[in-house]
Structure 1
Amino acid sequence: MSAVNVGLVGAGPWASGFHAPMLAGGPETRLAGVWARRPEAARALAGRFATRAFEDYGALLDACEAVSFAVPPEVQAPMAIQAARAGRALLLEKPLAADLAGAMALVDAIDTAGVPTQLMLTRRFRPGVRDFVERARAFDVRGAYVRHITDELFSPSYLNAWRERQGILLDFGFHALDLADAAAGGVKEIGAVGDPHGFMALTCLHEGGVVSQISISGRVVVPAGHLKTIDLYGPAGTLALDCRDLGDDSAATRFNVRSEFASAIRSGRSHPVDAHHGLYLQRLLTEAAAQLGQTLDGM
């Protein structure tokens, strides 16, 4: 299989620290170029990876088969719609858009264009998490408890404008709810309490009657900087995962993201963790936000 030419939109810390080295790091993909709102940032990042910086987004689309996005949701949605209409496959960040209407419009454009997509829920590409999810499918789950508790929002480099506005639901909530969904089944009902800018909790009723509880915060100092766990409960006992025990699996995770995106593009079929899955999660999290009196409008 020949390398897929992928253009990168964005030149911030996540683009430079994950997307660019991942796309340039293996034979499955080739980093075809970089576009960013700040041309000087695009040039600097492109120079690091011996590729081209584009000032015109349309020219980047002409130079690639697929686009990887590492920009805020209010920027991603309209640019991804343009890319889909140009027939380009999409590697999308979560949330899909700044609000549910924008996410729905993006998915409509994807469906109309028929382009394959993959969603960057990084944890779902970690080998240890995948092993846990496989074991969970053979476990008689009656209840689940998920924690996504970190100190990341104390870091100025992490707390950007959209996270400051939206709080933790559309960021950490995506990861936590997705893991509960993968391990305990599809979510039928969701409830929320707490502070979406501090510490909050979700309670979910899953298909088959499983109940899960999810604790989320980005402003708690914890060992190793994060506490990302899931515990499943059933008649046979418990099944647990603590992401701090997974070690450094960044190379394997990047390989999974890159190779599976390339396979989706060549097959023309979206990854199981795709834009539709992102819309499903965003719809649930928007419902949770409404229960807290929060409007996720991105502005």
Structure 2
Amino acid sequence: MRIGLLGTGPWAEMAHAPALSEHRELDFVGVWGRRTDAAEALAERHGTRAYEDVDALLAEVDAVAIALPPSVQAPLAARAAQAGCHLLLDKPLAAGVEEGRAVVEAAGEAGVASVVFFTARFQNTTEAWITEQAALDGWFTGRAEWLGSVFTGDSPFADSPWRREKGGLWDVGPHALSVLLPVLGDVERVAAAARGPKDTVHLILQHIGGASSTLTLSLTAPPAAAGATVELRGKAGAAVLPASAEGPVPALIRAADALLAAARTGRPHPCDAAFGLRVTEILVAAEAQLTEPH
């Protein structure tokens, strides 16, 4: 499959470009970015070509991987789908529901496959744990704490404007939801949302199966306090999400595998654009509660 990369930032450099280069079933055709010099530098490092015109790249590939802010990703993803390209997307899918729905509709109308890269869903250890817990009945409640130190530690994403604007809810919130939803079921209602220190938010969710969950999300935790924890409690007892030492490149290679399989079989992947849209809808509902006057 011929694939192009849209984006040249830290995530494109450390995850997407290496994964596309290493994948044995992908032909990494080229890179487009909003900064031509960055696209040229990234393309040179990976032995491919930089494109100044995004439509020229779309015309020469079967698929695109996108590593761009959500407000930029969504319209480009819809444009790529309309050009007949399968979509390897990043989370969050979009910065709003309408933009996300446009991606889903464009992919559906064009008959192209889509996969959204929720990291934990493509790491071997964590995905196996999620599958195991989802097969069990009787979960009563879940707790997720996803605490980053992007703006308090030494992070390559410290200068990310969209992360500064949207905070932990939109950056690490999708990770937590990608783990909880397959196990506890879709969210019926955002029961409560409250702000904590800096960008930290606390959510209480009610799930359609009757379970509830709480989420604490932040990008400004002290470095010594950063980390991700998910704990489930129910009839089977307690289960804790295992840590994964696997980096993003192997996981992204498996996400590309999933896109190839979906494109070949026509069967949607569980982490397709429609799932990405559902996560976006939950984030928007939570954000609305956070901005309501009390």
TM-score, length-scaled by structure 2: 0.92
State the Cα distance separating 1:183 from its structure 2 match: 2.2
Distance 1:68 1:124 in 2: 17
Distance 1:251 1:98 in 2: 25
- Find out whether 1:289 has 2:291 as its counterpart: no
Partner of 1:94: 91
Distance 1:250 1:161 in 2: 22
State the Cα distance separating 1:197 from its structure 2 match: 4.8
Runs of 4+ in 1 over 6 A off after TM superposition: none
Partner of 2:77: 80
Letter in 1 for 2:157: Y
Partner of 2:19: 22
Letter in 1 for 2:230: I
Distance 2:77 2:63 in 1: 10
Letter in 2 for 1:132: W
When residues 106 and 164 of structure 1 are mapped into structure 2, their CA distance, relative to the original with a 3 A threshold, is: same
**Cα distance per residue 1:81-138 (max 9 Å; x no partner):** 1111111111111222222221122222222222111001111101111111122124
Distance 1:222 1:233 in 2: 28
Partner of 2:131: 134
**Cα distance per residue 1:252-273 (max 9 Å; x no partner):** 4233112112222223343220
Partner of 1:62: 59
CA contact (8 A) 1:167 1:197 kept: no
Distance 1:80 1:197 in 2: 32
Partner of 2:103: 106
CA contact (8 A) 1:127 1:252 kept: no
Partner of 1:271: 269
State the Cα distance separating 1:209 from its structure 2 match: 0.6
CA contact (8 A) 1:31 1:51 kept: yes
State the Cα distance separating 1:75 from its structure 2 match: 1.4
Distance 1:43 1:268 in 2: 34
**Which secondary structure does the structure 2 equivalent of 1:115 belong to?**
coil
Distance 1:6 1:220 in 2: 37
- Find out whether 1:193 has 2:215 as its counterpart: no
- For 1:11, which of 3, 8, 11 is the aligned residue? 8
State the Cα distance separating 1:192 from its structure 2 match: 1.2
Distance 1:108 1:98 in 2: 16
**Cα distance per residue 1:214-245 (max 9 Å; x no partner):** 1111111244x7321111111332111242xx
Distance 2:125 2:268 in 1: 23
Partner of 1:119: 116
Distance 1:23 1:50 in 2: 11
RMSD: 1.8
TM-score, length-scaled by structure 1: 0.90
When residues 45 and 249 of structure 1 are mapped into structure 2, their CA distance, relative to the original with a 3 A threshold, is: closer
Partner of 2:207: 206
Distance 1:151 1:142 in 2: 30
Distance 1:197 1:87 in 2: 42
State the Cα distance separating 1:196 from its structure 2 match: 8.7
CA contact (8 A) 2:95 2:280 kept: no
Q: Tell me the number of residue pairs that the alignment of Structure 1 and Structure 2 aligns.
A: 288
CA contact (8 A) 2:2 2:61 kept: yes
State the Cα distance separating 1:157 from its structure 2 match: 3.1
Partner of 1:157: 156
- Find out whether 1:262 has 2:260 as its counterpart: yes
Q: What stretches of structure 1 of length at least 5 have no aligned partner? A: 295-299
State the Cα distance separating 1:63 from its structure 2 match: 1.4
Partner of 1:216: 217
When residues 42 and 252 of structure 1 are mapped into structure 2, their CA distance, relative to the original with a 3 A threshold, is: closer
Distance 1:221 1:37 in 2: 33
Percentage of identical aligned residues: 36
When residues 237 and 270 of structure 1 are mapped into structure 2, their CA distance, relative to the original with a 3 A threshold, is: closer
**Which secondary structure does the structure 2 equivalent of 1:152 belong to?**
coil
Distance 1:163 1:218 in 2: 8
Partner of 2:175: 175
Distance 2:54 2:249 in 1: 30
Distance 2:79 2:199 in 1: 35
**Cα distance per residue 1:169-201 (max 9 Å; x no partner):** 121111112211122222111131114952211
Letter in 2 for 1:214: L
**Which secondary structure does the structure 2 equivalent of 1:151 belong to?**
coil
